[in-house]
Amino acid sequence: MFLGRYSHTIDEKGRLAIPARFRDLFGGEAVLTRGIDRCLTLYPMAAWRPLAEKVSALSISDPDARTFRRMVFAEATVVQFDRQGRILLPPELRDYAGLERDAVVVGVNTYVEIWSPSAWSAQAEMIEREGASIAQRLATLI
C-alpha cells in the first residue's frame, strides 16, 4: 500500500528517486503514464494489469472511450528502477506534468502520483477548501 507525501529532486538526466518504502512494492519495474489531473501516475504491474484490462474492455465505438484509451496508453511506458531506486521520467511526460527540478511523490493506496510542487500546492489548497463537502458527497459510496 502506497501512503504519504514526499518531496524529491529530479536530476539533470531526468531521473527521480522513488521513496524507499515504496520501492519493494514495485518489484523492480512499473508503468508510468499521464495522470488525469496533470500529474504522472506510477503503477506496479499488479495494479496496472487490471486497469489496462478495464480500459481495453471499453467499447471502441464510443468516442470518449477511444479518447480515454489514448490518454492512458499512448504515453505509457514501462520503467525500470536503478540501484538507487530511481526511474527515468521521459521528457514528454515531464513536460505534461510541468516537472522541472523538484517533484512531489504521493502515495494513493494502489499507485503513486508524481506532481510538480506548484500543481500539488493547488491540489492541497483545493482539498483544504472542498475536502469536507467532497467526503460528504462520496460518503454514500463507501
Q: Which residue has the higher pLDDT, 48 or 134?
A: 48
What the block records as the C-alpha cell of 129 is: 477548501
102: left (phi over 0), alpha (psi -120 to 50) or beta: beta
Mean pLDDT of the region 88-104: 97
Domain 5-141 has CATH 3.40.1550.20: yes
Domain boundaries, the chain: 5-141
First to last CA, the chain: 19
- Name the residue type at position 72: V
Compute and round to an integer the Cα radius of gyration of the chain. Answer: 16
Query: Each residue of 6-65: pLDDT tens digit?
Result: 999 999 999 999 999 999 899 889 999 999 999 999 999 999 999 999 999 999 999 999
